[in-house]
Structure 1
């Protein structure tokens, strides 16, 4: 009498049939009929793409990375120009340009909010850029006043002492003429910084506008709409 044994080794099924020598009429058993059907292959589910929230989308439309880098560069240039006041008392009028450090701070916050957008960083970007707008407008007005005031050489020559000389006015006039190149350089720098401060003011206003739009989207209605969308992605419940 034939006998059949089934052994599973390492995920491989081995079927052994023992048939007597004189029992040649016995057909071999089909191993597939005695084994359970293989389970169907598991279908791979494609991950559902995660959509950016409305706050991030609204804020990123303002290009905070690029605008933040522009603010940082303008702020560093203003700080370097303001540090020229250390060289001479005649340059003390240019020390307020060191307030450009606020531009560096607002630009850094804008870049950080662009990399990892959160409601706290967007609020920080809005507040810091509002302060930068005020400083930028004050800087534009102050630069225009410096351009309309007396030439820088006159301010430098006023620091000199001409008490022992009789022709004080003549010496001051000669001093101003000798520092003609100083006027050209400083007037050129003031004109350049006037353009940069106007650009800085425009950039900060743009960042403030998009930060405000992103913050306005943080309302209960938007949160409820987002939760409804998430519910739509879940499979229906069947008891």
Structure 2
């Protein structure tokens, strides 16, 4: 942003740009693409008999799509910071954060519980959901 234009911007917009939404958006888009690619690799394992709960629920695919949408909104808001676009970006970032929390729990938490009955119950629930969706 050129210095002349920066002087005439409101304080809230200056504070918004201080958070570097363009860098955030690009990072989110790349993470979304990598997450979806990781999901494709896990789907190959599913067909060879490795039935992971997060593959059955397609967690990498929908969380990756959320990251891409959130990143695209961040890039758009960085280029043209209109209030509705910035509010949409912030709301989508909250949704992506919740999805990332679930994603982390789904990958890491279930791996730690694989030798307990909790994993078996979760897997049975996932298979039940899959059966209901078909």
Scaled by the length of structure 2, the TM-score of the pair is 0.68
2:102 corresponding residue in structure 1: 138
2:59 corresponding residue in structure 1: 96
Can you list the C-alpha shifts for 1:191-214, whole angstroms capped at 9, x where unaligned? Answer: xxxxxxxxxxxxxxxxxxxxxxxx
Structure 1: which 5+ runs fail to align? Answer: 1-48, 151-239
What count of residue pairs does the alignment treat as equivalent?
A: 102
Cα contact 1:102–1:132 (8 A) shared by 2: yes
2:17 corresponding residue in structure 1: 60
Cα offset, 1:85, TM superposition:
4.4
1:126 corresponding residue in structure 2: 90
| Residues 91/85 of structure 1: CA separation in 2 closer, same or farther (3 Å cut) | farther
Question: Higher strand share goes to which structure?
Answer: 1
Question: Higher helix share goes to which structure?
Answer: 2
Structure 2: which 5+ runs fail to align? Answer: 116-134
1:84 corresponding residue in structure 2: 41
Distance 1:81 1:92 in 2: 13
Cα offset, 1:61, TM superposition:
0.7
Select 2:72's aligned residue among 91, 108, 112: 108
Distance 1:70 1:128 in 2: 15
Scaled by the length of structure 1, the TM-score of the pair is 0.40
Q: Looking at CA atoms only, which structure, 1 or 2, has the larger radius of gyration? A: 1
- State the Cα RMSD in Å: 1.8
Distance 2:106 2:21 in 1: 28
Distance 2:105 2:43 in 1: 23
2:30 corresponding residue in structure 1: 73
Distance 1:129 1:75 in 2: 13
